[in-house]
Amino acid sequence: MPVDQRRINGPEVTIPYNIYFDSNAKQTETRKTLPKKRTDGRDSTELRKIFVKTGIVSQAKGSAYIEMGKTKVVCSVFDPREIPNKTGYSLQGELFCEFKFSPFSCLKRKIHQQDSEEKEYSIILQRALESAVCRHEFPNFQVDVYALVLDNGGSSLAAAIMASSLALSDASVPMFGLVTAVTAGIYQDRFYLDLTEEEEVICSKAPDESTSSRNYGIVIQANLPQHGQISEFFHVGSMDLANMKPTVEAITTACKELCPVMQQCLVKSVLKALKRKENMEKEDQ
Amino acid sequence: MRRNLPRSKYQKGIIHPIKYLRDYLERDIRPDGRQFLRVRPMSVNVRSITQADSSSIFKIGNTTVVCGIKAELAEPKVETPDCGYIIPNVELPPLCSPKFRPGPPSDQAQISSKIVETVFLNSGVLDPRNLCISKNKLVWVLYCDLICIDYDGSVMDACVGALMAALKTLTLPEVEHNPDTGAIIVHPSKRLSVPLKGAPVCTTFALFEDQLLIPDPTEEEESLALARLSLVIDGEELCGVYKAGGIPISQEVLMKSLSQSKKRAELVRKLIDTAISST
Amino acid sequence: MDKLKDPIICVPGQRLCVSDKINVPGPGTYEQHGYIYSKLAGVVKLAKNENVCTIEVHSMTEQSIVPAPGDIVTAMVTIVNQRFCKCVIKCIGDIVLTRPYRGVLRKEDVRATEKDRVEMYKSFRPGDIILARVMPMIDVHTYQLSTAENELGVVIAYSEGGASMIPISWTQMQCPKTLAVEFRKVAKVIPEQIALE
């Protein structure tokens, strides 16, 4: 690999220490299959507690922070800018999305540059948001959306989609509706919503040949719950066609559940802004 | 406090930035309502990122820097067989300010990384020999990534603060290394902290006309300042003075900034210690 | 600012009311399947005009907008040459932009009369703050601006001595310090100092 001259580099070969874990120690045992009961005691369709807040980056036009279990994502949005290196005229504005894991956010250290997974996630993020934004209002311009995962506890992309949608709204970018997203995992005959990182690892690997059901995979679905529309559906793995319907239905219900949380967060920020405005006017008088 | 100034014309800051700031400074007040020598409130939060070996979030006013340390294993350099590595990198992503573009690190990010590294080495906080597991064979590499989340001035102060807070809470698992077979066994349940000595604290100042010196400038003040100055102090020791260009500074003002940053260093040290003991 | 006791707060995608002859969608809203929805997070305002009620949503922060033809913008002159000057658009109407956009003002759009006798250096200098109108876009990335109206032109300018100059005619400004007179295409507005006091 070429040396990155713009950063301070470590030795060429470094090894994460967790591969040398004492094999006798009990806690290092990694699970191969999804347990019947989830490790955090949730029901299969139960979502983790979610915390959202807008306006956390003072320099950005709009920003949001989301916490889902251990997952923590920051997102910020900036004013429309000219699309670089563009010659033609486009009637629809563009969304530029960048999704990044911070180097310390995952079990394995991430490099500073975007890797292929992050690039793929950036595109999913863009597609999930695009249909919710009134892009005809800023023709020939692009709105930048940056999502940074500080801590990956699973379902980071879904968290990033929701945070970005809040940040866009916080930036007063005109939108047709809010976007919510949920990750679902399928493994054999089991089906879980809002995966933790451990569950994500299990669901993304095919089960052994010997097992009866060979279903596995991860589904990320983004909805516009206020309009009952799906803006993005992304699936990796392999599952029976019959599984599709219940999966989509379960995710759609979960996406609807999330909507009030986001609405409340926005209402709160509007109220706060109103109060601030009032105080300023009082001070001026 | 700001009553006499036309705040409704926020535009003033954009159209007339220099006059805007001068109007404030002439009235002995800063645009955010602070007195000249007041610093913004600070807060530290440690151990909130579960995937990192240690982490901290350091806030100064709006400015926010997150530090995460990931430890890995590597062979030491031949010339320093018993020294571990500390790799601090400052990241100023486009997320934190419209000033930055996606892509490779900006010049400023590179300079910041370099300053953090030199501050770290010069202050001797962490003896790299303490990161040695087996001489010539195996040492720790500490990847210290400092990511700015909100760029509102005095970012260096927040970077150094976040790094120190993260280092103070860093624990490393015990490692057994057999030098003959090369076998490595890690005991994740036995984690030990790394011995540290002192804690450097960085304080940034902005210099304006007539040698007016203000500590802890915001981004707005920094961009209009005629010169910037960062002092790094560790107890009674001075471990770095950074003043890149700008107008010359008088000796008297430099001395004043020294005593200011000494006071602030004490404050920051206490803040970090309380944050660590309260979690 | 109308002081509603209990402001109606809405979020993007929220259904506000039925869209019919009485209730029509205004700024910050859109119409779909016979209903009016909000596009923004903000406060609902009703603008009643005879029998028609326009539903509007006003956001708390300045809306993310880009200049459109016909808008009056505030811009700062950056480069002046004999044929045109380049500027940076800083505000659209009352809305302050956080990201500046580029604009170009050509020699023939400086004033409405005696277009052929315009001299760019006698109209603008780098650093001047001007009011201008956005013209229909020709180039993809730069906005064409025009100051060919009495109310448009230089509003704030600094003399060589660094002082803010005072307009003395529609083509001249004077420095209060050195009393030197400089040429500008001056906009017909009340000077800032008077407006503030």
pLDDT digits 0-9 by tens, C37-67: 999 999 999 888 888 999 999 888 776 678 8
- CA-nearest residue to A132 within chain C is C13
Instruction: With beta carbons under 8 A apart, name residues in chain B contacting C90.
Output: 11, 14-15
pLDDT tops 50 at residue A9: yes
A40 touches chain C (CB under 8 A): no
Arithmetic mean of pLDDT, B236-243 = 89
Q: What CATH number has the domain spanning C8-59? A: 2.40.50.100
Query: How many Å lie between the alpha carbon of B99 and the closest alpha carbon of chain C?
Result: 10
**What gap in Å lies between CA C184 and CA C120, rounded to an integer?**
9
The neighbour count for residue A77, using CB atoms within 10 Å, is 31
Among candidates B50, B85, B97 on the partner chain, residue whose Cβ is nearest the Cβ of A151: B50
Tens digit of pLDDT per residue, chain C (197 long)? 444 567 899 999 999 999 998 999 998 999 999 999 999 999 999 888 888 999 999 888 776 678 888 889 999 999 999 999 999 998 888 777 777 788 999 999 998 888 888 899 999 999 899 999 999 876 666 789 999 988 899 988 888 877 888 889 888 999 888 888 999 999 887 555 555 44
For residue C53, give the 3-state DSSP assignment.
strand
Angle, vertex CA B254, rays to CA B27 and CA B219, nearest 5: 55
pLDDT digits 0-9 by tens, A109-151: 999 999 999 999 999 999 999 999 999 988 888 999 999 999 9
**Pairing relationship of beta strands C143-146 and C95-106 according to DSSP bridges:** parallel
- Could you tell me where the DSSP H helices lie in chain A? 116-130, 156-170, 197-203, 241-284
pLDDT tops 60 at residue B276: yes
A169 touches chain C (CB under 8 A): yes
Q: For residue B1, give the amino acid letter.
A: M
* Lowest-confidence segment of A25-29, B60-64, C147-151 by average pLDDT: A25-29
**What gap in Å lies between CA B146 and CA B92, rounded to an integer?**
9
Region(s) of chain C under CATH 2.40.50.100:
8-59
The neighbour count for residue B248, using CB atoms within 10 Å, is 10
pLDDT at position A84 = 76
What proportions of chain B, in percent to the nearest 5, are helix, strand and coil?
30, 30, 35
**What gap in Å lies between CA B163 and CA B200, rounded to an integer?**
10
Mean pLDDT value across chain B: 89
Residue from B70, B121, B144, B190 whose CB has the most chain A CBs within 10 Å, to mutate:
B70
Domains of chain A: 41-84+91-277 (3.30.230.70)
Which CATH number, 3.40.50.720, 3.30.565.10, 3.40.50.300, 2.40.50.140, labels domain C72-196? 2.40.50.140
Ramachandran sector of residue B99 (left: φ over 0; alpha: ψ -120 to 50; beta: rest): alpha
Query: How many Å lie between the alpha carbon of A255 and the closest alpha carbon of chain C?
Result: 15
pLDDT confidence of B173, banded at 50, 70, 90? Answer: very high
- Do the beta carbons of residue C186 and residue C167 sit within 8 Å? yes
Mean pLDDT value across chain A: 89
The neighbour count for residue A31, using CB atoms within 10 Å, is 11
**What gap in Å lies between CA A213 and CA A218, rounded to an integer?**
16
- CA-nearest residue to A260 within chain C is C11
Report residue C10 CA to chain centroid gap: 28
Arithmetic mean of pLDDT, B1-13 = 41
| Cβ-based burial of C192 (10 A; exposed 0-12, middle 13-18, buried ≥19) | middle
pLDDT digits 0-9 by tens, A242-271: 888 999 999 999 999 999 999 999 999 999
> Could you tell me the two tokens for B273?
């210690």
pLDDT at position A12 = 87
* Interaxial angle between packed helices B155-168 and B251-277, expressed in degrees from 0 to 180 and rounded to the nearest 10: 40
pLDDT confidence of A31, banded at 50, 70, 90? Answer: low
> Could you tell me the two tokens for B99?
């000033």
Q: How many helices (H) and strands (E) does chain A have?
A: 4, 11
Residue (of A163, A171, A142, A172) closest to A222 by Cα position: A163
Report residue C184 CA to chain centroid gap: 20
Query: How many Å lie between the alpha carbon of B2 and the closest alpha carbon of chain A?
Result: 9
A83-112 residues touching B, CB cutoff 8 A: 98, 100, 102-107, 109, 112
Helix (H) or strand (E) holding B228: strand B227-234
Domains of chain B: 31-277 (3.30.230.70)
Interface contact B141-A11, CB threshold 8 A:
yes
C90 touches chain B (CB under 8 A): yes
pLDDT digits 0-9 by tens, B80-109: 999 999 999 999 999 999 999 898 999 999
pLDDT digits 0-9 by tens, A169-181: 999 999 999 999 9
Instruction: With beta carbons under 8 A apart, name residues in chain A contacting B62.
Output: 58-59
Query: How many Å lie between the alpha carbon of A70 and the closest alpha carbon of chain B?
Result: 7
pLDDT tops 50 at residue A219: yes
pLDDT at position B13 = 61
